[in-house]
Structures are given as structure tokens and as C-alpha cells.
Structure 1
């Protein structure tokens, strides 16, 4: 079910994306079908009668929507759409016998040039994925104590890795340096025993030795490693690069399987690299090939220079090997710098006696395997490939050259979106692979560009080509001796016949063929609709427009020039010589405050409205004139107000008339009357109102305020008191209702007894 869902998702995503991209970009016309399809968004119409008179073949190239609007029938539109075909799509699974971590496994892309195509890739880190670990050890003399420790660690290393997977194999290799000066002494005694002291016994130096190919036999590992003896050399750097390249490329000798491949490199010093071999007279660059003899030794060490960092990185990446540098503290900075240049590599600090190597390998493997880096290999030129990552921790990356997710746990799935864009037509079907670094699984992608036109079989001696050419995709390929868009021109023997015919279609040597508005056929211009003339120089639709109408709707377009109707003038016939729309309310042209231009009033400064009958801000505009006029009546006032009034006529208001003065000022009141008999502006002014005694106003206001405040306080106090009395009375009534008088006799109360006797009557 998931496989079907993946196929549907990819198909919908890709086809939908191609259609939207093509229609949105528009199209730049091209002269033939193949070139047309190289432009994103373009389609080609090969219908024979599609072009109108004078239209060149380039007009066949346009967007599919535009071709349809121009009546190109559906069956004649060449517009191949990009699509993705899923060839192999096995679901992700962690079956120990058949692990699948990458989905899908094979795709075929059919893409248009310049149109991006996208598809999804899923990766799920499987539990129990098999591991091949090759232990590569520096056997220079300074690693003597480390060798003794490693001899007994084989079982512990396997035990640590089996906590991750039950399928583990381990191998062992060693390295020292090239057996040449100045790396290794050439003295016969030193060649046999390169130890610095005669009291020690060392094996002869070597560049690289494959001691034990990968095996799951722990006892065999322990036995073979225990047989190893330390060696020695003269300088500090070692031949680690030689060893790593040979361990990577010698697939059969090392015994690598298609599983997770780990190379553990242990050393207590730095490394030789490309160029160092010249010290020993070794100039030939490293070829990156396997050169192990029958005994497992690298026997071309003195013929080839040390590998470069790039050679080493490519060898490891090409063979899906993940690298763990286990080096002592003093060498860590050098190897950290190297690790940045080698993908899928980490650096761990090794104790002086390698006692922590098991823990180091376990931690380093965890760091390596939890980072998924998706990359492409062997991509052909002309393809741009980029990735977005949707990681399980919620991190989403933009389009990058690689897809990457970190801290991926076992059984966690991460998604990548891959975008492929062709920048040019590929010569055929090309193939590249997308794979996670350090993992053998890969997605095989085949790509073909949709640059070929399916226009049916070519028609030789086509009537459309006047029987003188082959019709293909709507275009005539003329026979020898024939020329023209439809092969109706006969070519004469001279080389310049084409140029000579084209010269007859140009007004000048610098002008375009047929003024760019037609095609040259046999020395004569065939003009497009709306164009005419010997050189198609007359455009009956190219006249100026007014109010978005050709010649303003008041003229006829004749060879890009407007012939105006009666009462209209101007290049675009937009100017009427009538004046009916300029008449003001007084029957005067523009109310005598403007001039009539093209039957519209152009108002003088300060006036507006269609008939220029109203002033703009009259009170502000003529205030200075009114002030000056009023001041001129006083002996010390300004006598000449022409500077402020200009042509305006100031006039004092007649006291007998009931004037309205809309313009009020503390020093003057006035009104502006623009509608005079002679069209001039009149300012009618008068004195301001008598000033008010502000002292009395202030005193009266203060007294009134005090009285009002006092009354307000008394009223508020009386209201509050009334509220208080009412509340107390209400409480009294409620308490009275609650009281109940007790009428029962009090048992503790005894009434007084009265005894009356007559003192006069005494009885014995």
C-alpha cells in the first residue's frame, strides 16, 4: 500500500508542478520546434494553416494557452510535460535477511529544459544492519604499548558492536612508512631491525600490510594480531594515506561486503601526503588503484607518491567507507582539520596505550551512523540537483547541494525532497545515483530531456512547400535551389542571392526586414494584418491613443498617422476646437477666470471647477489685501496696496447694505466677489467688531464661576445628606420589623406583697 501511495504522490507532485511552472513563465519565441522546447513554458504549433499572412515561423512558438487562443487545434500542439516514472519501489524494512533503508530504489525522469522536477526520497535507519570493521594500526615503534593492548581487544570490539547488530566482521591491517630514505634507514642492519635500540626486536618496515581480511572469527583475529611485531622508521609522519587508500580500493583482498563499512585508523603521530614522496625521488602521482601482492603488502609504495587528501576522500566515498580516526591527544588538531575534508569521518582521542579504543569506536560509530547525508554521484553535465531535508527532530533545510539530518535514531524515518533541473538538452538517456554517504544502498535515477518534437512523419515535396521542400513540424525545409518560408523562391547560382532578396525588403541597410512586421518572400514583403506598404512600414493600428482609444475615437488611423474628423485636431485627435463645455454659469468663457483649451477650461491661478467659477482659499489668499486696504485709510497706514492686491479691486463696504462677511479676522472683516461685470476680483472690507473689555469679562467670569461652584457644592451636599437620611430611616424600619416583644411572665420576677393593718386595731 505504501508503495502505491509513494507512486501516486510523486506523480501528482511532479506533473502538477510542471504544468504550473510552464504556464507561469511565458515564452520567448524560437525559430523551430526543437529550440522552442528548450525554453520553459513554450509549446509549438505544427498546424499547416496556423500562421497568418506575413507571420514568421517564430510565431508557432508560444505558450500552450496562447496557441489555443489563436486557434491551434489540440492535436497540433507539441507541449511534452515532465513526469517521473517509478521503476523500483520496495518498502522500507528492517528484515535481517533483506534490509531496505532507502526508498524508492529506481526512477526514470522525463524533464523539460529549465523546468525543475521534484520527487521524494525516504530513509529509515534500520536496526541490526550488518557491519564490517577494518582495524588499521600504526606499527611504528612509538605504538609498541598500543600493540600489546590491541592483541587482547578483538573480542571486546566485537562485543561492543554486537550491541548494535549481530552481524559483525572484523579485519586487521598495519602500516609504517615507505621503505626509502629519508623515511626508513637503508643501512642493512636497520632494514632488518629498524628499532632504535639493539635490545629491541622489530620487524622490517613496510608501507601497508593487509594482515587479516574481514572475518567473524574472533579467535582468528586474536591469533593473527598477537603474531604482529612492532616496526620503526626515521621521521615522525607515517604512511597512513597509503594504507587507507589501499584498504578502501582493494575490495576483494580486504573482503568488504555490501554493508556498513567502517575503517578504524589508529596512530600517535601525523601523516605524509601528496608531494612528500619527492624527498625520496618519488614523483609519480598516486593512481588510487589496488597494488597488494600475494602476501598482502603494498608493493608499489616506492613507485607512487603518497595520495592527496582529495584522492583519499574520493576512494573512501566511492567505496562507502566511514572513517574513524583514533589518535593521541597531541595529533588531534591535525586530524580534526583532515576530517573536515573527508565526508563521513570523525576524530576520537586515543589514550596513550589505546586502553579506551573500544569505547572510542562505539561512540564514534554512534555519531557516524546517526547522521544521514544524502548526495548524488556521477551526475552528467547539464543537470542541477539540490535537496531539502525534513528531519525527525523538526529541522527543515532549504535547497542545498546535499540533504542532511542529524541525531537520527534507529527505526526513525527522515524525508528528502530532490529537485532536478536540466540546463540543456542531454545527448541521450543519462544515469546518476543518489545515496547516503557510507551506506551501500542507492537510488538509481535515469534522465532524459524532452527536446524532440513529435510532429508526425516529415512530408517530402509537400504542397504546403509548393512541392519544393519537406514539411516537418509545420516548417518547410526547402530543396536545393529553392528559398522562402514556403519554398516558392528560386535561388540563383550566386552566393548572395539570399542577401540580395533580403535587401529588397529593407528600407535602409540598418532597418529590419519588412520593418519587423512581416516576412520577406522572394524579395517582397508579406505583411502581417494591420500593416501595409512596400516594407510593411505602415501600421494602421499604431496611431497614438487618447482615452485608451485609437485616435481618441475621433479620427481614422492611416499609416501610423491620425486623420481627424471635423472639429478635432492633434496627433491623437484628442483636442476639440469647440467651446461649448467651457461656458460658465454667467455665459462667459471659463467665467472670465481661465482660457478654453481643447474644449476644457484651464483656470487661472487660484480658481477651480470646470468653469473656473470658484476661488481656492479666498480668505487666506486676499487677507493681506484687505488688511492693507483698511490700513491705508489711517494717516500712518500703508498707502500703496498694489503689492498685496495686484489687479484686485478693494472696496469699503457700504454701511447701508446688509453685507455678509465670511472672512473674519481680528483686524478686518471682508468678502471676496469674483463675479464682477468686467471679470475682475473685488474685495469688500470693513472694520472688525468693537473689542470687548476683557477685564470685565474676566471678573464677571470669575464671580460667575465661584457662584456656580458654590451652588454645585451645596446641591451635592444636600443630595448626599438626603441619601444618608433615607438610608438610616430604611435601616430603622427594618430593625423595628425584626423586633418581637416577649409577653410571657419572667419566672425570676416575683410581685411585691402589700400588707395593710390598722394601727388602731391591735389584737393580742
Structure 2
């Protein structure tokens, strides 16, 4: 190696060491006490020697620098309960173990990761609780008929899946007030009993939720209860399924959900559901409380007309708490609607229901197999605890970042690696949480303790002489100064010490002392106080604050409802910490598209895209406004609601079935519309050229309600009364006329064919060209010979003849 190469090598080494030193100084050296040192980085350690210069550094660096007492606590875990996996057919049911280990005690240092391996083995022949929840509005009559026939078959098929089965049955319609259902007996009778239904069906008054049969092992009761069930009638197309799902999930004791069983809730319907907020249309403003309100005597929902429908998030929380698998068996038209909802409900699945529910058994069996062949972990880790999962679903099948395994067989043992990291030192971080397979009772309970302080701080000496004659507490080798005292040994107070130790009050590569926002007292920055006591400047060099974050609409982080400005202690920079529901550098964007939903239920009314919670309407469309519903060239808002009315009520129009399923607006179908004074009558033509009539109204609470006339108005032809004998004569004449006409046509057709053939014959005859030469193969019957000696005297000599010439 020549000199140039050696110089270059030394230069690279020096630069690397310098950069490493700067990085270490940034991450560790700025800490002023042991507690702050531990929070900076999990690699930082603290020197507790009485005399030492830079106390917070890498452990190797501290030892190399001569530190004799290094504090560097590490995380650890201790297994408290670790019973082996046991199967349902080999262990008592209450002692079946499907998760190992069951309980551990975990110590975490902020930023440090501890790995735990969790084994899971779904038990074979595990008990099954299946509750069948059915929409019993009028459109489900055929489904009810088939379920009556399939009830016994369904019970037998479930016994093939598990030897310990419980079944239950319940139903729902909608809230028992107008405009959800018919409350007038005459209207109920007219809507409930059309002539095309057989008399075996009885239309009952509408109800909210009804538990007809609690979970029982007597499976013969299931078909009997289905046989006794009757349908009802509602006005709006969306039904009260959300109320029913909530009550069946939370009424654990009344329904009979067992702790040691898989819980399947089969939900069948051919329509969408009302969601939170729709209760306002009936004057219901009280939110759903998520409590059980099924009357133990009548088994009906008592708060149907008192509480609003639950939110999807609230419903998901209750379903998850009770380990329920919701199976939505839905008509194809609304499948996309329920698939969107199922994405927000843990363990939910959607199947396509045949028009008469004839495939319900195959859907249940298919979903049961999917449930038992899938393991998905869930946890209750608090904010400040991060869990990174790695699934080991089989030999060679490792899935980093995933906590789901599919395609498993019963009895198969799989494992998950849990990398647990504490990201905060908040008080609620040091509490227990669980990790468990969804749908099973077994769980791993983790008791956590986050290491955010040093043990030596608890052994500090108050009012120590080492801290400037008792002006502080000596702990971990440094002084923790009393109020209004500063300096390494608390030798300075607010009234003195200005101008000393400037070299320690300037950040790396900075020119200003204390970032220009504080003064240096005894080598430490004392940040200025603001006039507003809520505004605080902080940081070792006063480089951070809680008021200089990005602003939205003139307010820091969008205002206190959206977020708050915090000081990131790792980077010592100001940034917005957004509250739940908001996102963005200034918390300016909602984390959902709810603000872009039009009253029709479509995102930006189908005429735009949602960007940061605001609709950007298509330039080529006539619609504008916050949700692209304002149309300057349209008459009122009739055009806004047209497509949803046409597809929802009459199943026609430009919207596809998937788009139509998103129309969650409230539509009331009425037999005959009575347009209120001041309301605009909307009219449009359907595919049969009939006029569809509807009108809309905006209630005081902002809800838009669309009223649609059930039967379109079609143009009627003029009816002329004709005597019967005239009709008979006309028919006879018509028959004679048609017969003569057919004979004439046949005769003309035959004449045409003859004329055509004769013309072709004449044409061929005229074009004939006969050949007059003799046929070479022709032989005549006579032969002509020419005698060459005819007329001549011929003397012949016969030399060879022995006779004398005289004889000749």
C-alpha cells in the first residue's frame, strides 16, 4: 500500500469515527440524568461514578473511558404459566389448552424488543354454538318456507361438524314506528297479504328484534320454532339488522353463549341495514348503549324505539369481546355492501344467498371449515406497546408481518413470533394485556413493566452536601437540583450564573446560544417563558416547543379537537400528534371518507373523488358542492336522488347492483303520494316509458327523506266498447280472408315456379349448338367395295398351278 492509499484509508477511518461520535452525541450524550438517558435510546447506558464527564453513552464507550459503575438495565420475560397443549377429546372441556404459554411477565425498556414464541393448536371436536338470525320482512317469505323444510337437515349436518352442538333462532324486522314499518292496521293488512301468497303464511305486526329460541342442545326445537315464525312488513328497504346483531352479541346469558365453544352467528337478509344516525328519521336521538335489552319474558328488544342503531365500530367491539364469528348470508344485490361492512368487523365473512335460501346449509358448512382452518391473532395491547408478528404456518411457510394462518387442519400446531416493543413511558403502558386466537377462549396474558427509570435514582441522598451545600439530591452520580437551582452541582440559581459555560449551551453546528430562545445559566439552557402559559419552550438547547407546529385553518394542528403540538424527545422537534379520526402533518385530513358521503349514500354522489376529506367533483359533470350534489341546471335536487330511487325501488337505471347497494339514503315507498305544499314533485321515466313520481324533504336534523310512489303512472290506451256479435263476425271474416289469401299466395307461388322453369328451358334451347360431323365410333349397316378390275381384260398366269392352262 503506497502513501496515497494509506492517507485515504486513514481519512475514511477518521471521518467514520467522527460521524459515529456525532451520532452518539446526538442520541445519548444530550441526556442530563439517568432517567432521560434510558429514554433516549435502548443502546444508551449511564455511568454512576461520583466523578465522570459524559455519563450517557454507549456501554462500551463508558467502560473504555474508565467508568467503573455502569447502569444499563435490559428487558426480560418470565414464564408464569406454561401448560402443554391439550385436545378436546383427551382433556376435560374446561381444561382444554389451545395456546402455550398462558401467562408471562415481561419487562421492557423503551425502544428495546423482546421476542416471545406462541404455540397454537385448535382443538378437535370443539363445541359449537350456532345462532340463526333471520330477516323476516315480507321479501323473505320464500326463504322462510325453505328454512322450514331445511331445519331438520341443518341440525343433522351440524352434528357432523361437532358432537356438541347448540342451536338458536331469532329474527328482526325494524323499529316499530313510522316511517320504518306500517303502524296502521289497514295499511299493514294491505301490504302483508298480497293474493300471490298461500294462506299458510300469516303476516304479523312488525317488531324490532325477537329471540325465538335460545341456544339449546335439543336440536328438534329449531325446526319447530322456525315453523311457528311468521313474516312481517316494513316500509324502508334497509332493515333493523344492526339492532339485532348487537342484542344477540351482548345478551350472553339470555342467548346462552358458552365460554368453551365456537360462536357462529348466521345472519340472513336480502336487503341492507340501517346504521347509526338513521334513528333520527323516527325522532330517536339517544345513542345505542351496547347493553342487553331483551326482555326475558317476551324475548323482544325493549329499547327499539328509544335508542338509535349502533355504529359498526361499536358493534365490532361487542362481537370481538364475545368471540363471535358473524356469517352474513346475503342476496347478491347487497353483497358488496356487506363485504364493505365485514372489513370492519373482526372474524366476519360474507356468502351469497340463493333467492330462496336453498344454499344456506352449504354456506354454513363452507364458513365453518374456513373458521376451523384459520387462526388469526388479536391483542389488547395499549397505546405505547407495539407488537410485530411473524406467522409460522407450516414447514417452510414463514410469513413476516402477518398474524394469520389459513388452510390449517384440526390438531395442527402452528407458532407465532411476537416481537414486543415499548414505544412510550406513559403510565398506562405498564399494564397487562392479552394475545389470543380470535374465536377461542384461550389467551396468552402478558403482564408488562416498562423500564423508564434507574434503580439508583430511588437510592438518592436528599439535600446532599455534594450538591452545593444541600441544594439538590445526589443520585446516580449527579445532582438533581431543587427548584430554582441549576448547574452540575446546583451551584447556580435564577439570580446568578449568567454567562458561564457557553460551550455547553450551544447545540452541534448551531451558532445561537440556547437556539436564541433561552439563556445559559451555569452551562445549562434555561428557556424563556412565554406570555401564554400554555406555550412551552423545551429541549436541552431550547430547540423544541409546543406551538410552532403546522397550522390548519389558522389553528395549530387544526385546533384542540383535531390534535396537539408536542415535542418529540427523540428528535427534539415539534410535530403534530393527531387525535383519533384525523391525519396529516397539520391534522387537516380525516382518516375516513365519511365527510365525502352524499345523502344518496354514494361517495361524492358518484360524480367525483374524495381527497383529504373533500370531494373533487368531475369537471365534465354538472354536479358541484361539498359532496357533488349541487346541480345548477337541474330542477331542485330531483336529479340527485333519481338513480338511487330507480335502482333501489324499481331495480333499473344506470347504477350497477354494487353501486346501488351503496345507496343508504332513507327511501319510503308509499301506495299513493300526497305531495305536501311547498315540496317539489319529481318525475322521471322508467324503461317502460312510465312516469315514476317521488319527492324529497329535509328534516330539521338535516336528514333527507325520499318518498316514492309504489306504482309508476303508465299511459293508458282509449277503450272502445264493442258488441260481442261484431267480434264473432269479425273473427269469422278474418279467418275466411286469411284462408283465401293463403290459397291465392300459394297459387301465385306455383305460377311463379312454372314460369321460371319454362323460361330456363327456352333459354337452354336457344343456346344449343349441334355438331354435324360423323361420330367416329358409328358403323353403318352397309359396306361399299370398289372393284379395281371392273371394265378391264385381265390375263392371269398361274405358274404354280400344275393343271394345264386349257383346263383353266
Larger Rg: 1
SS, match of residue 35 in structure 1: helix
1:298-329 residue CA offsets vs partner (Å, 9 max, x unmatched): 12112222223323322222221101112233
Match among 41, 45, 67 for residue 43 of structure 2: 41
Q: Distance in 2 between matches of 1:476 and 1:432?
A: 37
Deviation at 1:161, TM superposition (A): 2.4
SS, match of residue 211 in structure 1: strand
Match among 49, 56, 68 for residue 61 of structure 1: 56
2:86 maps to which residue? 93
TM superposition score normalised by structure 2: 0.55
2:234 maps to which residue? 233
Matches within 5 A, 1:173-184: 173-184=170-181
Cα contact 1:246–1:290 (8 A) shared by 2: yes
1:729 maps to which residue? none
Cα pair distance change 1:504/1:315, threshold 3 Å: closer
Q: Does 1:195 align with 2:195?
A: no
Matches within 5 A, 1:442-453: 442-453=443-454
Cα contact 1:125–1:408 (8 A) shared by 2: no
Cα pair distance change 1:511/1:311, threshold 3 Å: closer
Cα contact 1:194–1:203 (8 A) shared by 2: no
Deviation at 1:146, TM superposition (A): 2.3
1:243-279 residue CA offsets vs partner (Å, 9 max, x unmatched): 1111111111111111210000112222222233233
Cα contact 1:26–1:63 (8 A) shared by 2: no
2:76 maps to which residue? 83
1:109 maps to which residue? 106
1:685-740 residue CA offsets vs partner (Å, 9 max, x unmatched): xxxxxxxxxxxxxxxxxxxxxxxxxxxxxxxxxxxxxxxxxxxxxxxxxxxxxxxx
Deviation at 1:338, TM superposition (A): 2.8
2:141 maps to which residue? 144
Cα contact 2:372–2:410 (8 A) shared by 1: no
Matches within 5 A, 1:282-431: 282-294=284-296, 295-377=298-380, 379-392=381-394, 394-400=396-402, 403-427=403-427, 429-431=430-432
Cα pair distance change 1:426/1:187, threshold 3 Å: same
Cα contact 1:193–1:204 (8 A) shared by 2: no
Cα contact 2:88–2:126 (8 A) shared by 1: no
Deviation at 1:482, TM superposition (A): 6.5
Q: Distance in 1 between matches of 2:386 and 2:505?
A: 44
Deviation at 1:208, TM superposition (A): 0.6
1:555-574 residue CA offsets vs partner (Å, 9 max, x unmatched): xxxxxxxxxxxxxxxxxxxx
SS, match of residue 166 in structure 1: coil
Q: Does 1:130 align with 2:127?
A: yes
SS, match of residue 373 in structure 1: strand
Cα pair distance change 1:26/1:225, threshold 3 Å: same
Q: Distance in 1 between matches of 2:228 and 2:163?
A: 27
Cα contact 2:392–2:415 (8 A) shared by 1: yes
Cα contact 1:154–1:218 (8 A) shared by 2: no
Matches within 5 A, 1:540-551: none
Q: Does 1:264 align with 2:266?
A: yes
Cα contact 1:87–1:108 (8 A) shared by 2: yes
Cα contact 2:174–2:240 (8 A) shared by 1: yes
Cα contact 1:284–1:304 (8 A) shared by 2: yes
Matches within 5 A, 1:675-690: none
Deviation at 1:362, TM superposition (A): 0.9
Cα contact 1:43–1:64 (8 A) shared by 2: yes
Alignment: residue pair count: 480
Q: Distance in 1 between matches of 2:431 and 2:46?
A: 26
1:192-231 residue CA offsets vs partner (Å, 9 max, x unmatched): 8961438663221111101111110112333333222222
Please report the RMSD computed on the Cα atoms of aligned residues, expressed in angstroms.
Answer: 3.2
Deviation at 1:342, TM superposition (A): 2.5
Name whichever of 438-447 and 253-262 sits farther off: 438-447
Deviation at 1:129, TM superposition (A): 1.1
Cα pair distance change 1:520/1:189, threshold 3 Å: closer
Q: Distance in 1 between matches of 2:98 and 2:343?
A: 26
1:397-441 residue CA offsets vs partner (Å, 9 max, x unmatched): 2225xx011111111122111112112213263122212222222
Q: Does 1:496 align with 2:491?
A: no
Cα pair distance change 1:502/1:245, threshold 3 Å: same
| Structure 1 unaligned residues grouped into runs of 5+ | 1-21, 514-518, 524-764
Q: Does 1:72 align with 2:67?
A: yes
Cα pair distance change 1:499/1:236, threshold 3 Å: same
Cα contact 1:194–1:202 (8 A) shared by 2: no
Q: Does 1:213 align with 2:214?
A: yes
Deviation at 1:41, TM superposition (A): 0.6
Cα contact 2:502–2:523 (8 A) shared by 1: no
1:640-683 residue CA offsets vs partner (Å, 9 max, x unmatched): xxxxxxxxxxxxxxxxxxxxxxxxxxxxxxxxxxxxxxxxxxxx
Cα contact 2:29–2:55 (8 A) shared by 1: no
1:65-91 residue CA offsets vs partner (Å, 9 max, x unmatched): 222222222xx3211111111122221
Cα contact 1:178–1:206 (8 A) shared by 2: yes
Q: Distance in 1 between matches of 2:207 and 2:395?
A: 48
1:726 maps to which residue? none
Q: Distance in 1 between matches of 2:221 and 2:503?
A: 93
Q: Distance in 2 between matches of 1:44 and 1:126?
A: 49
Cα contact 2:492–2:521 (8 A) shared by 1: no
Cα contact 1:29–1:62 (8 A) shared by 2: no
| Structure 2 unaligned residues grouped into runs of 5+ | 1-22, 515-519, 525-808
Q: Distance in 2 between matches of 1:480 and 1:424?
A: 27
Q: Does 1:468 align with 2:467?
A: no
Q: Distance in 2 between matches of 1:463 and 1:454?
A: 21
1:558 maps to which residue? none
TM superposition score normalised by structure 1: 0.58
Q: Distance in 1 between matches of 2:448 and 2:376?
A: 23
Q: Distance in 2 between matches of 1:482 and 1:333?
A: 66
